[in-house]
Structure 1
Amino acid sequence: MEKPGYVNRQNRKGWVAMTVILSCFLIGYWFIKNNNFDMPSATTSVRGVLYKSATGAPVGGAIVMIAEGSYEHPDIAAQTDDQGNFSLPELRVPGTYTLLINYSNESKRLTVNLTKDSVLRIPL
């Protein structure tokens, strides 16, 4: 017969095992919750158009570059065609990127939030 208030050796091993398992689960949960493992949903090509804000005329021959971004990326740049269209390939989205636009001896820096279906319309 066991004395009241005493835990026998077999019950103690069970509680220790249960405590270790629960502790591992809680540490794992905390680690996953506090480390943002959100993966981007896609890699896509982002299209856009540059135009003069005063006239609405397209800006051809401008260079559009990714200066900074939410993710590491290779050097990405595009030149606008005669209609002001450009395409930046292989961007991980969703994400926030800083574009550097060079045109007619001028430059403009612009921060944009990109999603899978983004089409940029940028006035200059």
Structure 2
Amino acid sequence: MEESRHVNNQNRKGWLAISFILSCFLIGYWLIKNNNLNMPSATTSVRGVLYRSATGAPVEGAIVMIAEGSYEHPDIAAQTDDQGNFSLPELQVPGTYTLLINYSNQSKRLTVNITKDSVLRIPL
């Protein structure tokens, strides 16, 4: 009789250990899965060029700002050079961002999907 009680206690401890380990794995999986939904895969600088749609001429001195996006971000803005080029640093990608572009007393709001290798060509 004493021997069967010892075996039952060992079985109970084994099942408790297995249940504990399985619970830890399930909780860990849940935490990782939920955190990865909100985590970007990378940050990158996104390059782009602004040009006039009618002539193809570059738009110099325009201000390109991130108005809103898929992720929280610091205030990011860039000014185009004489060739219409700009660069927005440290954007989390992939993501969808709304750009606010101010140029020649005008403004344009544009939503773009950005990936790691995006180069934006924006006609104005």
TM-score range, shorter chain: 0.7 to 0.9
Alpha-carbon distance in 2 for matches of 1:91, 1:98: 12
Alpha-carbon distance in 1 for matches of 2:68, 2:30: 30
Alignment of 1:67 onto 2:41: no
Q: Deviations over 1:25-60 (max 9, x none)?
A: 222223322332674343322111111112212211
Q: Deviations over 1:86-116 (max 9, x none)?
A: 1212222222211100112211111112222
**TM-score normalised by the chain length of structure 1:** 0.80
Alignment of 1:48 onto 2:48: yes
Give the C-alpha shift of residue 10 in structure 1: 2.3
Q: Point out the more displaced range, 29-38 or 76-85.
A: 29-38
Structure 1: any 5+ residue segments left out of the alignment? none
Secondary structure of residue in 2 paired with 1:35: helix
Question: Whose helix proportion is higher, 1 or 2?
Answer: 2
% identity of equivalent residues? 89
Q: Which residue of 2 aligns with 1:78?
A: 78
**How many residue pairs align between the two structures?**
121
Secondary structure of residue in 1 paired with 2:45: strand
Q: Which residue of 2 aligns with 1:21?
A: 21
Q: Residues 23 and 69 of structure 1: is their aligned pair in 2 closer, same or farther, counting only changes over 3 Å?
A: same
Alpha-carbon distance in 2 for matches of 1:97, 1:27: 33
**TM-score normalised by the chain length of structure 2:** 0.80
Alpha-carbon distance in 1 for matches of 2:61, 2:34: 45
